[in-house]
């Protein structure tokens, strides 16, 4: 499949890398010559320098032979015009990254339906929803939902003296035979391991576990954490992500305080968020954080537009006793650093955009995709069709690639932890955890 990507920033670069690794025919269009040259040197894709909203540039990139166009620059107008032009030139699927809500409000003449755009993605809203999910989970560094919310993938870091420390996965499975947990990956010393029964969990491991949503809270206890209910949250920074998160918190009855250094922005937020307390203040002022009671708060979210400020504010909040600290991170390169410096979790509007686009790019038999921050690994949910190669073969005989693991099979209301003699049947929903090098082979097994 030929895919045109407009914009070689963090989002476009990451998408181009993922899709080219899956042997898709990718053309990357970028207005900045230096950025385009960097992408050409780093990726196995064709790059074109120019404005992605320009018809001559799109035609030179081969738009008439493309099946999909992904417009992901930081400029909404460029993305919308690129998609509009592509749809008029016969491109079957178009996706635009759009932050301004005026462009996608229902009834707007510029809505996706009116312009013939298949999907409009708001990175800030996607990021706010992910943050809210992380705040609800006591210890999770990553949260993704599958099967319409029935199954969760949780990433947690194992504490010393945790109930699972020092045990093999086989031993844990025997002890927890009545539960539906499946450890699908272990990240240790920068390497991501697709584990087998003899692998042992040690303190400091970042583990990724699939579980039914109603059983997921028990995972935190097993990793050495105490549970808690989300009652009070402080948001440092009145960014769009912070505002959307505050809306979610208000709707769910959570007490919310917002700090921002811009007085005018504070007045805007106070008008829009009637049930939140908005303070004109510096999020890195330790004395202020202590005075506002951050030591007893359930959740602290740093959501300014500057990654360094967010990480500093998060560390200050953690040092004075905030229970769960989440930092907004824009640069992909910073994501692996977050757990190393003691911050509980990170969210990225750009990674949230990548996840949303990958879900759509692989749609059909692919229902959900979650790309995990800092690992390069993905969890993919497939709906199994009648002609898939994976059908009616014991899993032990499937010869899955080394970097892949079938984590869960959902058959109607039944949730199956797969064993070697289990078989996949038509209509099953199957969640597969896979490293990048194995994605192509996994998708071929489930393809029609």
Place of tokens 């990451």: 14
DSSP E strands, 189-290: 191-193, 206-212, 232-236, 255-260, 277-280
Tokens of 267: 């007045």
Kindly report the backbone phi and psi dihedral angles of residue 18, in degrees, each rounded to the nearest multiple of 5, phi listed first.
-60, -45
Q: Which letter does DSSP use for residue 338 in this model? A: G
pTM confidence score? 0.79
| Angstrom distance (rounded) from CA 134 to CA 384 | 30
How many other C-beta atoms can be found within 10 angstroms of the C-beta atom of residue 165? 18
Regions of the chain with pLDDT less than 50: none
Options 3.20.20.70, 1.25.40.10, 3.30.70.1450, 1.20.1250.20; CATH of 384-446: 3.30.70.1450
Q: Which of 329, 350, 349 is nearest to 340 (CA)?
A: 329
pLDDT for the residue 166: 93
DSSP string, 154-209: EEEEPPTT-TTTT-BHHHHHHHTTTS--EEEEEEETTEEE---TT-B--TT-EEEE
How many other C-beta atoms can be found within 10 angstroms of the C-beta atom of residue 221? 15
Q: Do domains 228-340 and 384-446 have the same CATH topology?
A: no
Query: CATH homologous superfamily of domain 2-121?
Result: NAD(P)-binding Rossmann-like Domain (3.40.50.720)
pLDDT for the residue 149: 83
Kindly report the backbone phi and psi dihedral angles of residue 265, in degrees, each rounded to the nearest multiple of 5, phi listed first.
-65, -35
pLDDT for the residue 279: 93
| Angstrom distance (rounded) from CA 135 to CA 220 | 13
DSSP string, 240-251: HHHHHHHHHHHH
pLDDT for the residue 402: 86
In the chain, where the domains are located? 2-121, 139-218, 228-340, 384-446
pLDDT for the residue 107: 60
What crossing angle do the helices spanning 240-251 and 123-136 adopt, rounded to 10°? 50
State the DSSP H helix or E strand holding residue 168, giving kind and residue range, or none if neither: none
| Angstrom distance (rounded) from CA 185 to CA 194 | 5
Tell me, which fold does domain 228-340 have in CATH? Answer: Rossmann fold (3.40.50)
324-328 and 299-302 as β-strands: parallel, antiparallel, unpaired?
parallel
CATH class held by domain 139-218: alpha beta
């Amino acid at each position: 499949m030929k895919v045109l990507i407009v914009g070689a920033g963090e989002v476009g670069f990451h998408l181009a890398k993922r899709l080219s690794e899956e042997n898709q025919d990718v053309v990357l269009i970028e207005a900045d010559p230096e950025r385009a040259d960097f992408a050409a040197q780093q990726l196995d894709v064709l790059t074109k320098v120019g404005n992605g909203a320009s018809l001559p540039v799109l035609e030179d990139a081969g738009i008439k032979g493309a099946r999909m166009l992904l417009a992901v620059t930081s400029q909404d107008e460029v993305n919308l015009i690129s998609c509009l032009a592509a749809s008029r030139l016969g491109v079957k699927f178009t996706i635009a990254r759009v932050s301004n809500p005026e462009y996608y409000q229902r009834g707007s003449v510029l809505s996706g339906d009116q312009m013939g755009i298949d999907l409009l993605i708001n990175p800030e809203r996607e990021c706010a929803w992910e943050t809210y999910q992380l705040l609800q989970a006591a210890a999770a560094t990553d949260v993704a939902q599958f099967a319409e919310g029935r199954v969760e993938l949780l990433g947690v870091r194992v504490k010393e003296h945790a109930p699972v420390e020092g045990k093999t996965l086989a031993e844990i499975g025997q002890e927890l035979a009545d539960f539906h947990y499946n450890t699908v990956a272990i990240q240790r010393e920068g390497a991501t391991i697709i584990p087998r029964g003899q692998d042992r969990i040690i303190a400091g491991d970042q583990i990724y576990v699939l579980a039914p949503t109603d059983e997921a809270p028990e995972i935190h206890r097993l990793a050495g954490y105490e549970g808690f209910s989300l009652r009070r949250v402080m948001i440092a920074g009145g960014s769009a992500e912070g505002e959307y998160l505050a809306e979610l918190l208000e709707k769910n009855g959570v007490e919310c305080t917002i700090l921002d250094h811009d007085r005018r922005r504070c007045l805007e937020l106070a008008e829009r968020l009637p049930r939140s307390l908005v303070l004109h203040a510096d999020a890195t002022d330790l004395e202020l954080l202590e005075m506002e009671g951050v030591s007893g708060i359930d959740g602290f979210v740093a959501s300014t537009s500057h990654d360094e400020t967010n990480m500093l504010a998060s560390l200050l909040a953690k040092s004075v006793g905030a229970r769960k600290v989440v930092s907004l991170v824009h640069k992909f390169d910073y994501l692996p650093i977050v757990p190393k410096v003691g911050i509980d979790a990170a969210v990225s509007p750009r990674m949230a955009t990548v996840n949303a686009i990958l879900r759509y790019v692989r749609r059909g038999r692919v229902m959900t995709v979650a790309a995990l921050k800092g690992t390069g690994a993905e969890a993919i949910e497939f709906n199994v069709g009648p002609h898939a190669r994976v059908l009616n073969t014991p899993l032990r005989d499937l010869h899955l690639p080394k970097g892949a693991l079938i984590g869960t099979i959902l058959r109607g209301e039944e949730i199956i932890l797969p064993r070697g003699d289990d078989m996949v049947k038509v209509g099953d929903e199957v969640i597969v955890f896979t490293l990048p090098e194995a994605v192509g082979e996994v998708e071929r097994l489930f393809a029609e």
